[in-house]
Amino acid sequence: MGIMTYAIQQVRNMGFIAHIDAGKTTVTERVLFLAGRTYKLGSVDEGTAVMDWMEQERERGITITAAAATCYWKDCRINIIDTPGHVDFTAEVERSLRVLDGGVVVFDAVAGVQPQSETVWRQADRYRVPRVCFINKMDRPGANFARTVEMIRRRLGANPVPVQIPMGHNSSFLGVMDLVEQKAIFYPEEGGLQGGTVAPVPKEEQEDYQRYRTFLLEKVAETDDRLLVKYLEGEELSVDELRAALRRATIRNLLVPVLCGSALRTKGVHPLLDAVTYYLPSPVDIPPVEGIHPKTGEKMVRHAAEEEPFSALAFKVMTDPYTGRLVYLRVYSGKARSGTSVYNATKDQRERLGRTMTMMANRREDVEEVRAGDIVAAIGLKNTFTGDTLCDEKSEVLLESIRFPEPVISIAIEPRSRTDEERVTDALNKLSEEDPTFRVQYNTETGQTLVSGMGELHLEVIVERMRRDFNVQVNVGKPEVSYRETITAEARAEGRLVRQTGGHGQYGDVWLEVEPGPRGSGFAFESRIAGGVIPKEYISAVEKGVREAAQTGVVAGYPVVDLKVALVDGSYHEVDSSEMAFRMAASLGLRAALQRGQPVLLEPMMAMEVVAPGEFLGDILGDLGSRRAHIRHIEGHGDTQVVSCFVPLAETFGYATQLRSLSQGRASHSMEFHHYEELPQALGQEVARRR
């Protein structure tokens, strides 16, 4: 099928986001099949999913990289990004949400809202992404539509409105009732690939149906004054009126339409595709993208129109075995032909936009021109990385980059043989280009290479990819926690560098004040120098020196965070002062101030949720207690107990195995990084000794 051209109002840039195992990739596979892009149904369980095309994704049955695909439904072109649900790949979700206009959040009808659902929901809130919910697995024992909708309201603080409700649950799930079009869709038992049979709403379902329909009408009318008047006067609202108002409310994030079905049996997937075209925004329905001028810093706006100057954001870099380096772009404004030169405003250099293509997971189709609203992959951009802005050189703009969390866990790796050394370096460079939450450091003292990431699974996948994709074998050390350091008291210290020899010497003298900042505030520097005590040109050198020194703390050499530093006084020498001297003096001053500020170690705390049958609750709580966990709350759903807690990352290694043996393999857990917390003194001393 060739590339069709569509008006920008007909384009939908959307992604499926969800907790691991909610069936997100299965939903995507069905959507691609129905939209005619795949001719064989892929299955995660059989390892034939189109979107999970990496070997590892197929073996583990999870999505690791966000894959992009373009398909067509009715009169719309839909660019889909399939995102991972596993918390270790949070960067993939983050970067996808940054460039999406709308999302479908998939929930498991049995488990309801899970911890990772909360994380992705918060991420979508941050980027103000309009959403539609799809409650999947309605045919499974224990499926509960009403409870899941209630959990969306209570746990996510959202405003869900069902636009469909199920007929029957569990094995008697027959189909869905459409509250907008006032009809029932029945699906055959074996599945609904051909779509279902449309019929009037059955008599026995009328009571439920009327209750939900009234709720929908009230909720939508509340968001639109004209409809409210009509509704209160008892006039009938037409399907088009209802749909248009619901679309406006969804785009403004006032309401979230909820649909349901069973993706595995393709029940409810046709209406879901319709809902994407009805309720999710096109690039012109959302506010124009904002950026700044890279030279002047003034605010700039780019509208989603071809007439505007070209601007695009690189949101993903991939190494492809056949074509080399692929850069995924979201085009926000203007247009550009492949083969022309574009300007990288982040790096301040020209780049050649080589071949451009739309993607079908790892298959592709070339396009001559990329236009506002497109999501495409490009070959030939040598120096463009995740978060970089490409634009028209005559009209520069720098779009807001993508923020990624800091890695919290690291392992030492070394090549198995001397001959592999160069290949290991090459593989690590390529992998860190692809994944902004994966960091590589070389420790000159021990000669070790340290790699850091978001969790054990993240690093496991990286090592496995080195073996498979780059054919490199490495030895791996034990996982280590990435601690941080901070101070607990205010302090003041002088940093003085005076080396006066014959000819030019070195002279720098600074007084620094440090104070602890609130948790999670990072690092802040300010200058309170008045009256030219230190010339302006040296102040940025002081800041550089302070920032460099904060990379290695005084307790155990970890980065220092949650710290405010003020330059308050100092002196300089007409001849001997230099930027270098002030940088060194600032570094000495900060180390001295940190020593006096009662420094402590901080450890990463993970938000963990354990789901287990009630009979094992006592043993599980006992074990969590021994791991220094703070229990937040325990909720019961029938016989199942859900324990939410904060637990130090250092205490979680090997937890999966322990949990299996405590619960005869019937409990599961998930966790994600939440915050840093002060490490108890005795443990802090032990960590410092080990360093």
> Of 68-82, 381-395, 501-515, which range is least confident?
68-82
DSSP assigned state of 95:
H
pLDDT digits (tens, 9 = 90+) for 596-628: 999 999 999 988 888 888 889 999 999 999 999
DSSP lists the bridge partners of residue 481 as 409
Average of per-residue pLDDT values in the chain: 83
Q: How many helices (H) and strands (E) does the chain have?
A: 16, 38
Tell me the C-alpha distance between 242 and 250, whole Å: 12
- In the numeric block, which tokens belong to residue 460? 């496991």
Q: Does the pLDDT of residue 645 top 80, yes or no?
A: yes
* Rg of the chain on CA atoms, in Å: 28
pLDDT digits (tens, 9 = 90+) for 525-552: 998 888 788 888 888 899 999 999 999 8
- In the numeric block, which tokens belong to residue 615? 């009979």
> Is the distance from CB of 550 to CB of 563 less than 8 angstroms?
yes
Fold equal for 409-482 and 601-690: yes
CATH class assigned to 485-597: alpha beta
Tell me the C-alpha distance between 256 and 157, whole Å: 11
Q: Which residues contact 81 (CB under 8 A, 6 or more apart)?
A: 13, 14, 15, 16, 66, 67, 68, 96, 99, 100, 375
Q: Does the pLDDT of residue 57 top 70, yes or no?
A: no
Residue 438 has phi, psi (to 5 degrees) of -105, 120
Closest CA to 653 of 537, 479, 525, 530: 479
> Of 113-127, 226-240, 276-290, 677-691, which range is least confident?
113-127
- In the numeric block, which tokens belong to residue 287? 């506010």
Residue 292 has phi, psi (to 5 degrees) of -130, 160
Q: Which residues contact 383 (CB under 8 A, 6 or more apart)?
A: 344, 347, 349, 351
Helices (H), 329-480: 421-434, 456-469
What integer is the mean pLDDT of 449-454?
83
Tell me the C-alpha distance between 672 and 689, whole Å: 28
Q: Does the pLDDT of residue 41 top 70, yes or no?
A: no
Cα angle: 419, vertex 422, 426; to 5 degrees: 140
- In the numeric block, which tokens belong to residue 659? 């949990």
Tell me the C-alpha distance between 150 and 498, whole Å: 68
- In the numeric block, which tokens belong to residue 438? 């994966």
Query: Half-sphere exposure (CA, 13 Å, Cβ side) for 506?
Result: 11
Tell me the C-alpha distance between 397 and 390, whole Å: 8
Q: Does the pLDDT of residue 424 top 60, yes or no?
A: yes
Is the domain covering 601-690 a CATH 3.40.640.10 domain? no
CB burial of 358-390 (b: ≥16 within 10 Å; e: otherwise) equals: bbbbbebeebeebbbbbbbbbbbbeebbbbbbb
Tell me the C-alpha distance between 70 and 355, whole Å: 17
Q: Does the pLDDT of residue 362 top 50, yes or no?
A: no
Query: Half-sphere exposure (CA, 13 Å, Cβ side) for 550?
Result: 20
> Other C-beta atoms within 10 Å of 642: how many?
17
- In the numeric block, which tokens belong to residue 555? 């307790």
> Is the distance from CB of 104 to CB of 14 less than 8 angstroms?
yes
What integer is the mean pLDDT of 104-113?
87
For the packed helices 269-279 and 239-251, what is the interaxial angle rounded to 10 degrees?
A: 70
CB burial of 395-410 (b: ≥16 within 10 Å; e: otherwise) equals: bbbbbebbebebbbbb
Query: Half-sphere exposure (CA, 13 Å, Cβ side) for 616?
Result: 22
> Other C-beta atoms within 10 Å of 296: how many?
9
Q: Does the pLDDT of residue 60 top 60, yes or no?
A: no
Q: Report pLDDT for 288.
A: 87
Share of the chain above pLDDT 90, in %: 28
DSSP lists the bridge partners of residue 609 as 644, 670
Cα angle: 503, vertex 504, 508; to 5 degrees: 145
Q: Report pLDDT for 42.
A: 42
For the packed helices 239-251 and 225-232, what is the interaxial angle rounded to 10 degrees?
A: 140
Tell which CATH architecture fits domain 290-399. Answer: Beta Barrel (2.40)
- Put residue 205 in one of left, alpha, beta given phi > 0 → left and psi -120 to 50 → alpha: alpha
Beta strands in 614-639 (DSSP E): 630-637
Tell me the C-alpha distance between 46 and 634, whole Å: 35
Q: What's the CATH number for 9-279?
A: 3.40.50.300
Between residues 494 and 691, the one the model is more confident about:
494
> Is the distance from CB of 23 to CB of 135 less than 8 angstroms?
no
- In the numeric block, which tokens belong to residue 478? 């034990």
Tell me the C-alpha distance between 35 and 400, whole Å: 33
Tell me the C-alpha distance between 161 and 137, whole Å: 19
The burial of 511, by beta-carbon neighbours within 10 Å (0-12 exposed, 13-18 middle, 19 or more buried), is given as buried
Confidence band, pLDDT 50/70/90 cuts, at residue 250: very high
Tell me the C-alpha distance between 269 and 289, whole Å: 31
Is the domain covering 409-482 a CATH 3.30.70.870 domain? yes
pLDDT digits (tens, 9 = 90+) for 154-174: 888 899 999 999 998 777 888
Domain spans of the chain? 9-279, 290-399, 409-482, 485-597, 601-690
Q: Report pLDDT for 210.
A: 93
Share of the chain above pLDDT 70, in %: 87
DSSP lists the bridge partners of residue 343 as 350, 391
Q: Does the pLDDT of residue 39 top 80, yes or no?
A: no
Q: Does the pLDDT of residue 364 top 80, yes or no?
A: no
Closest CA to 393 of 446, 456, 434, 341: 341
pLDDT digits (tens, 9 = 90+) for 70-99: 778 888 888 887 554 444 445 556 667 778
Q: Report pLDDT for 672.
A: 75
Between residues 436 and 362, the one the model is more confident about:
436
With H, G, I as helix, E, B as strand and everything else as coil, classify residue 94: helix
Q: Does the pLDDT of residue 2 top 60, yes or no?
A: no
Q: Which residues contact 234 (CB under 8 A, 6 or more apart)?
A: none
> Other C-beta atoms within 10 Å of 522: how many?
11
Q: Report pLDDT for 217.
A: 92
Tell me the C-alpha distance between 235 and 319, whole Å: 58
pLDDT digits (tens, 9 = 90+) for 306-320: 899 999 988 877 776
Between residues 435 and 1, the one the model is more confident about:
435
- Residue entry with tokens 């069905």: 30
DSSP lists the bridge partners of residue 395 as 392
CB burial of 534-549 (b: ≥16 within 10 Å; e: otherwise) equals: beeebbebbbbbbbeb
Between residues 440 and 45, the one the model is more confident about:
440
